[in-house]
Structure 1
Amino acid sequence: MKKALIILMVFIVCNVVLAQDSLKVKLLYHWDDSTVYMYNEVWGFVQNNREYAVIGALEGTYFFDITNPANVAELGFVPGKEGGCVHRDYHDFNGYLYMVADEGASSLQIIDLDYLPDSLALVYDSDSLFTRSHNIFIDSSTARLYTCGGDQNNGLRVFSLANPLNPLELVNFAAAAGYVHDVYVRDDTAYVHGGGGFFIYDLTDVVNPQLVGSLTSYPTKGYNHSGWLSLDEMIYCFADENTNTDIKICDVSDFGNITVLDTVNSGGDTNAIPHNLIIKNGFLYASYYQDGLWIYDISDPANTSVVGYYDTHPAIATGYGAWGVYPLLPSGVVLVSDMANGLFVFDVTDAITAVDPTGSEKDLMRVHPNPFTSQIYVELPHFITEGKIEVSLIDLQGRIVTHRLITNNGQKKFDLDTRFLTPGIYFLKVASDEGTHVQKITKAGRITHE
C-alpha cells in the first residue's frame, strides 16, 4: 500500500489504520493475460448500442464487449504490424477504430466496427502515410485526424477523414513545442503538448496554423505530456510526465492569458507520475504510474478536491501502474489500463454522486479562517451526523501532525488549536462511518504563541 498525501485529500499508508487502496470506486471487471508482459493504452466506444473496450499490449490490441460488466466477452486480438511496441494509441470515428504504434516497422491500422461483436474486421493496414505515430486525436467536428511524434512528422500532421478509409494529409507543420507528444483538438483549435510546454493553435485555415496561446512557465513544470478540455471550453487540465509533479487545472478562456488555477497530485509514492487524463461532467479522471486511477471534482476549478481513487498496482515497484483512463462511455463505467495488470472496468457512481453537482453548501466541510494563524473553526458537512469522528492534520510530507478522536452528539462545529504549526500548507481530514472529507488549509504568517 502506498497512499499518503494528495492535494486536497490525504490518505496515510504503512502502519496507519486509515490506509486503504481505494475510495468510492468499485471494481466490476478485471482482465489480465499471464502471457502478456506489458500493456499500454485503453480506449472505449459504442457501436450498435453496445459498449466496447480495447487495450493495447506489446504485440497488438485486445477487444472486449463490456455492455454487461458482469458478463464481459473477450472478442479477440488484432496483432500489430510490428510486435514489441511499448506505445500504442487509439481513437474511434464514424464507425471505425484507428490504431497506431510508435516502435519499429509499424503502421496505421483501421478496424471496421460494424462487424462487432461477431468479428474483428481489419480493413486498413498500411505504412504509406507513416510507419510510426506516438499519439493520435480525431476532431469529430471537422473529421480530421491529428498525429504526433513518430516518423515523417515535422511536429503535428493533420489528415482529412472525409473518406474514413483514405486519410488525406492536409498539413505537416513544425510546432512551437518542438517535438509534439500529444494533442487535444476541438473545432479546429489544437491544444499541443511537448517538452517546451503547452501551446494552442488555431487551425481554421488548416494550411496556415496560427499560434494563439502558450504556457511555458508554471508550477512543478516537467515534460508536458497530455491534457483535456472541459465541455464549456473554459478549463484545460494537463499533466507533466515526471515523478512527483502536479496536474495543472488551467483557465483557458483567454488564450493570451492562460492561468493555472490549482494543482493536484496523488501523493504518497514520490515515484508516481500523472500520465493521461480526461474531463467529464465536471470531474477529472487521471491515470498515474504507481498510483492507479484518481478522480477529482473540478466543478470549482480553483478548489479541486479528490472524490475517489483505486490503486491498480498496489505492489511497491517503480515503472508500473495505470497507463490510460477512459470515462466517456454512456453507461458511466470507467476503463483503466494498468501496465502490469491489464484491463479494469470500474463503477464510480459513489465517487461522482458524493458531490452535489449544484454546489450545495450542505455537502461541504467549511473551515474558517483560511488562511489561518492560531485557530481554525470547522463546520461539518450534513452527512456526518453522530458517532466517533477522526480528525487529522497532515503536512506536505504526508506526516500526521495532530490527531483527535471526537465523539459527535449531533454537533456540527468544533475548533482546533493551530498555534504549534509552522506556516505552510496542510490538509484537514475528517473521517466518520458516514463519509470522509478533506480540505487544503494554509497557515499564514510566522508562528506566534499566545
Structure 2
Amino acid sequence: MKPLLSILLACTSFALFAQTPCSNGTAGGFACNDYDLQSQIPLSTMNSTRANDSWGWTDPLDGKEYAIMCLIEGVAFIDISDPVNPVYLGKLPSHGGSSTWRDAKTYGNFAFVVSEDSGHGMQIFDLTKLRDVNNPPVIFNEDAHYSGFGSAHNIVINEETAYAYGVGTTANGGGPHFVNIQDPLNPVNEGGYAAAGYCHDAYVVIYNGPDTDYSGREILFGSNETEVVIIDVTDKTNPQTISTIDYNNLEYTHQGWLTEDHRYFLLGDEQDEINLGLDTRTLVFDFEDLDNPTLSFEHTGETAATDHNGFVKGDTFYLSNNAAGLRVLDISEIGGGTMTEIGYFDTHIENNEAGYNGAWSVYPYFESGNIVISDRTQGFVLVKKSEPLGISEVSASEVIVFPNPASEEIVLQSEAGFINKAVIVDILGNILFSEDVLTSEENRIDISNFSEGIYFLIINNTITKKIIKK
C-alpha cells in the first residue's frame, strides 16, 4: 500500500510540504525557532484564495484530531491524525456569499460557524460526518441553521453551560447575542445585551478566580473596540456590566484571553502597531478585583508585526502575530510582570512589518501538541515544538552518528564495542530499518529513500539518537 503522501501527490498537482525540522533557523522556507513544520496544505488545494480563522476538534470516539479552517467562501475540514500526511476532507460552503471574516467554534461533536456574509446566521455542522469520508474532498451540507441574527464577526462558546455568544452581530447593536445550544441541532434565542455597545470578540467562562464575589458566575470579558468590558451573563434575561477598563495608546481593542487561574487578561490592540508605530504590544490586565480591574504591565514583542489572536494554555501564550507568524511566550512569571518569547514559526516570509498579512489565528489545544496556523495566503500550516534530546542521547557518548543531518547515509561508530542492533523509526513509530547483528564498529545505513524529516535511531534497545534526513 502506498504511503498516503505518495497517493496525494500522485492524484493532485498541488505541493504539500511535510515534516521539516527547524534547522539553523528555517523549516520549509519559513523562519523558525524551536518549532518544526509538520505539514502544509496550500489554499489552492481547498479551492480558495484567502484563509482567516481556525479551530480544532478531537473525536472522543478514537482521539483523532481534525483542523477546522475558515476560508472566505466556507469552512474546510482536515484530518491531522497523521500530522505529516494530513487529509483535506472537504468544505462546508458559506450560507451566504464570501467574506473576509468567518469564525467557527465547537461544542461537543458540533461546529458552529458565523460570518460577516450578509444574512449568514449560524451554521451547525455535525463533526462526526468526518469519520467516514469516501473519496475526499467532498462538499458538506449544514445540519441545522440559526437565523436569530444575520451577520456576525465572531462566535464564542462556553462549553460548560452550552451557550453560544454571537458577537459583532446585526442584533443588539453588535453586543453579545445569547443562543442556547444544549440541543445543538435546535438552538434557542435567549436574547442579548446591547448596553455595553459593539463587542468585537469575547471570552466567556464560569468564573473561578481570585474575586470570590463572582465565584461560579458566568462572566463575559468583551473586547469592545474602545475598552474591555466585564459582564455577568449568568442570568440571560438580566445581564449586568460589572466594570470597564481602557488604557493608554488605545487604537482598537481587539481580542483577549484569560490565564487559567482567571487572574490575568492578555489583550491585543489590533491597530496600535499600525497607527502608532509600536512594536507588538500585549497588554496584561490584573483582574484580582473584577469591579476594579487594573493594567498590570505591557509586554513588547520582538518585531513590529501587528498582533491578532492570542490563546493561553497552561503557562504558555500562543499568539498569531500576523506578519511575524506564531509567537510562543512563557507566562509563568506573569505575576512578576514578565513574559518571555521562547519560540516562533513565521509563516510570512516577506517581512515582519505591521499590517494585515500572515497568521490570522492559531489553535494550540490538541493533546498531541500539534498547532494549527491559519495563514491568510499560505493556508493551513501545522507545526509542533521541536523534540528535545533524550537523556539516553546525552549520555551515550560511546556511540557516534554522522553526518546529521544526512541526505544519503548515516554512519554509526562505537568506541565501546560492537553494535548489536539498530532500528530506525519515524515519528509515528513505524519501523523503516532494522538490523539485528551489525558486524563491525563502524556501520553505514542507507537512508536515501527516506522522506525529509525527523527520525529516531534506537541502538541496542537502550540508546536513542534523533536523526534528520535532509
With normalisation by structure 1, the TM-score equals 0.70
Q: What does residue 264 of structure 1 align with?
A: 299
Are residues 1:45 and 2:78 paired? no
1:278 match: 311
Q: Distance in 1 between matches of 2:243 and 2:32?
A: 38
Instruction: Please list, as runs of the form range in 1=range in 2, the aligned pairs for 1:354-393 lying within 5 A after superposition.
Output: none
Aligned-residue sequence identity (percent) comes to 31
Q: Determine helix, strand or coil for the equivalent of 2:291.
A: helix
8 Å CA contact 2:325–2:348 kept in 1: the answer is: yes
- Name the aligned partner's letter for residue 23 of structure 1: N
Aligned-residue offset at 1:71: 1.8
Whole-Å separation in 2 of the counterparts to 1:240 and 1:108: 27
Structure 1 or 2, whichever has the larger Rg, is 2
Alpha carbons of structure 1 residues 123 and 21: separation in structure 2 relative to 1, 3 Å: closer
User: Which one is further off, 125-134 or 235-244?
Assistant: 125-134
The letter for the 1-side match of 2:270 is E
Count residues in correspondence. Answer: 330
- Residue 244 (structure 2) pairs with residue 214 (structure 1): yes
Asked if 1:150 is matched to 2:160, the reply is no
Instruction: Tell whether 2:366 aligns with 1:332.
Output: no
8 Å contact kept, 2:43–2:380: no
Q: d(CA) in 1 for partners of 2:169 and 2:294?
A: 31
Which sections of structure 2, spanning at least 5 residues, go unmatched? 1-24, 134-138, 207-217, 391-470
Deviations 1:179-224 (A, max 9, x none): 11011100211001112210111122221111112211x2432211
Amino acid at match of 1:210: Q
Corresponding residue number in structure 2 for 1:343: 380
Unaligned 5+ segments in structure 1 are 1-12, 14-19, 354-450
- The TM-score with structure 2 as length reference comes to 0.67
Contact 2:281-2:300 within 8 A present in 1 as well: yes
> Among 166, 169, 181, which residue is 2:186 paired with?
166
Task: Tell me, in whole angstroms, the C-alpha distance in 1 between the residues paired with 2:178 and 2:291.
Answer: 24
Correspondence for 1:66 = 80
2:220 corresponds, among 190, 193, 202, to 190
Specify which structure has the bigger relative contact order, considering alpha-carbon pairs within 8 angstroms and separated by 6 or more residues: 1
Structure 2 letter corresponding to 1:264: H
**Aligned 8 A contact 1:262 1:304 in 2:** no
Task: Tell me how far 1:260 sits from its aligned partner.
Answer: 2.5
Please say if 1:28 is aligned against 2:47: no
1:31 Cα shift? 1.1
What is the match of residue 104 of structure 2?
A: 90
Counterpart position of 1:135? 154
Distance in 1 between the 2:239 and 2:119 partners? Answer: 30
In 2, the alpha carbon distance for the partners of 1:319 and 1:164 equals 34
- Residue aligned with 2:372, SS: strand
RMSD of the TM alignment (CA)? 2.1
Distance 2:53 2:106 in 1: 14
Q: Quick check: 2:153–2:169 contact (8 Å CA) kept in 1? A: yes
SS of 2:261's partner is coil
Structure 1 CA distance, aligned partners of 2:41 and 2:84?
12
C-alpha distance 297-145 of structure 1, shift in aligned 2 (>3 A):
same
Out of 291, 303, 322, the residue aligned to residue 289 of structure 1 is: 322
The secondary structure found in structure 2 opposite 1:256 is: coil
CA offset digits 1:131-173 (Å, max 9, x no partner): 2111001111111110101312331111111211111122211
Whether the 8 Å CA contact 1:110–1:122 is kept in 2: the answer is: no
Q: Is the 8 A contact 2:92 2:142 kept in 1?
A: no
Q: Is the CA contact (8 Å cut-off) linking 1:312 and 1:338 kept in structure 2?
A: yes
| Pair 1:240-2:275 in alignment | no
The CA deviation at 1:252 is 1.1
3-state secondary structure, aligned to 1:63 = strand
The equivalent residue for 1:225 is: 254
